[in-house]
Amino acid sequence: MVSGTTIQAGPGPEETTLNNPVDVIDGPGGDRCQRLIDDLVTHHYAVAPDYFPAHLIRALRQEALLRDRRGEFQAAGIGRGRDQHRNERVRRDRTLWLDGSTLAQCTLLEEMEQLRLAVNRALFLGLFDLEAHFALYDPGAFYRRHLDAFNGNNGRVLSAVLYLNRDWRDDEGGRLRIWSDPDASEPALDVAPRAGTLVCFLSDRIPHEVLEAQRQRLSIAGWFRCNNSTAIAPDPAR
Ligand SMILES: O=C(O)CCC(=O)C(=O)O
Ligand SMILES: [Fe+2]
């Protein structure tokens, strides 16, 4: 069981203020992964614009839009398994789980696998698998402040969100608001959901919120999980 994920390496959290982001990873260079890991160590979150190439983002966006037209997305729930329920006061997005059935998904999942291995090598977080879904926020949709995990309840250790929105403007809302730790009252940072930006953070350390979007907002939200299986109780996916 994971409870209170900590990263052993590197200096403690530094002061960050709204609109004064941490170092960002510029461009898909070979060191983008290392920069992301360095920011995770320092801040427990990392923001990486243009982490993935534009053609991959375009393919993922087109797939999401097509599958939405086919009615494949479902209103998102809170909780897991049989405890899952809808709560429109908390979140209003619609989601569709990735199943690796398209080339675009496979390419992304392979990249995420490289990230998982690199993070495990550097930080010993014991990341075991990834669950991820497309998420679609229609105009007016939001997701109130929350943690993605607490007391190891769902095995989620590292959250990763990738944005698919072309030409996102500041006045279109939909920013991801991040707090630097569960006790922080002032947010540390707002992130615009621009195509290609990857945000990662410790699932049980970083409160966050999706501010109301004024236009349709597309993303892929994923969670690297540890394996909470025991001999008598397998750890179920989702
Ligand atoms: O889309 C985002 O920016 C974050 C989504 C999120 O917090 C979640 O799905 O848990
Ligand atoms: Fe979240």
Which of ligand 1's atoms lies nearest the C-alpha of 133?
9
pLDDT digits (tens, 9 = 90+) for 190-209: 999 999 999 999 999 999 99
In a domain, 24, yes or no: no
Choice among 6-20, 109-123, 139-153 with the minimum mean pLDDT: 6-20
In a domain, 102, yes or no: yes
In a domain, 12, yes or no: no
In a domain, 42, yes or no: yes
CATH number at residue 167: 2.60.120.620
Given a contact cutoff of 8 angstroms between Cβ atoms, the answer to whether 136 and 94 are in contact is yes
pLDDT digits (tens, 9 = 90+) for 94-113: 999 999 999 999 999 999 99
Domain containing 107: what range?
Answer: 32-79+86-225
In a domain, 11, yes or no: no
| CA 231–ligand 1 middle distance (angstroms) | 32
Residues with CB under 6 A from ligand 1: 135, 143, 148, 161, 176, 208, 210, 219, 221
In a domain, 237, yes or no: no
DSSP string spanning 36-99?
HHHHHHHHSEEEETT-S-HHHHHHHHHHHHHHHHTT--EE--BSSGGG-B--TTTB--EEEE--
| Count of the separate structural domains present in the chain | 1
Which of ligand 1's atoms lies nearest the C-alpha of 191?
3
Single pTM value for the model:
0.84
| CA 121–ligand 1 middle distance (angstroms) | 26
In a domain, 22, yes or no: no
Residue 33 banded pLDDT, cuts 50, 70, 90: very high
How many other C-beta atoms can be found within 10 angstroms of the C-beta atom of residue 117? 12
pLDDT digits (tens, 9 = 90+) for 115-135: 999 999 999 999 999 999 999
Cα torsion for 34, 203, 130, 66, to the nearest 10°?
-100
What pLDDT score was predicted for residue 109? 98
Above 0.90 for ipTM, yes or no?
A: yes
In a domain, 161, yes or no: yes
